[in-house]
Amino acid sequence: MTVQDVIEFVHAQRAIRGEQKVLRNWSDGSIALSIVHAIERGGFGCVVTNGKLTGFCFGMPRHTERVFDVTQIVCASPRDLAHLLLLFEGSFRGWTLRGFRRKKVESKSLVDYKRIQRLSHLSQLTASNYVSI
């Protein structure tokens, strides 16, 4: 998998869900640069299904605080999000996820997820109810 694969995946998701829903206001160059920096810092994870990229997440691990600051998450399905959470749980055991989230409100709010096992379990339950067509 290359950075170009990630950018192509972003373009495909933008075509499906719209420009405003997937990495809003991010250019291809800024996506590539952020991914390269995240890979260098150990803050990039991806999900590959049947040889195709189906989800990725990048951010910055803060080792002194034991916090992973999530910059962006893009997934094709809830199942891919569940896989990313399992990847995080395995790599950063006992850490806190922190990131901005917008849900049913206009402005973003900073959210800390300290109970990663519970969040991972809930995402797996949601993914088990998801049927892909």
Q: Give 100-110 pLDDT, tens digit per residue.
A: 876 655 667 78
Tell me how crowded residue 67 is: count the other CB atoms within 10 A of its CB: 18
Mean local confidence (pLDDT), 109-133: 67
Q: Is the pLDDT of residue 47 over 80?
A: yes
Q: Are 88 and 97 in contact (CB under 8 A)?
A: yes
Angle at 12 between CA 10 and CA 15, to 5 degrees: 110
Q: Are 75 and 55 in contact (CB under 8 A)?
A: yes
pLDDT > 70 fraction of the chain, expressed in percent and rounded: 81
At 109 the pLDDT is 76
Separation between Cα atoms, residue 52 and residue 6, nearest integer Å: 10
Mean local confidence (pLDDT), 77-99: 86
Looking at domain 3-129, its CATH class is alpha beta
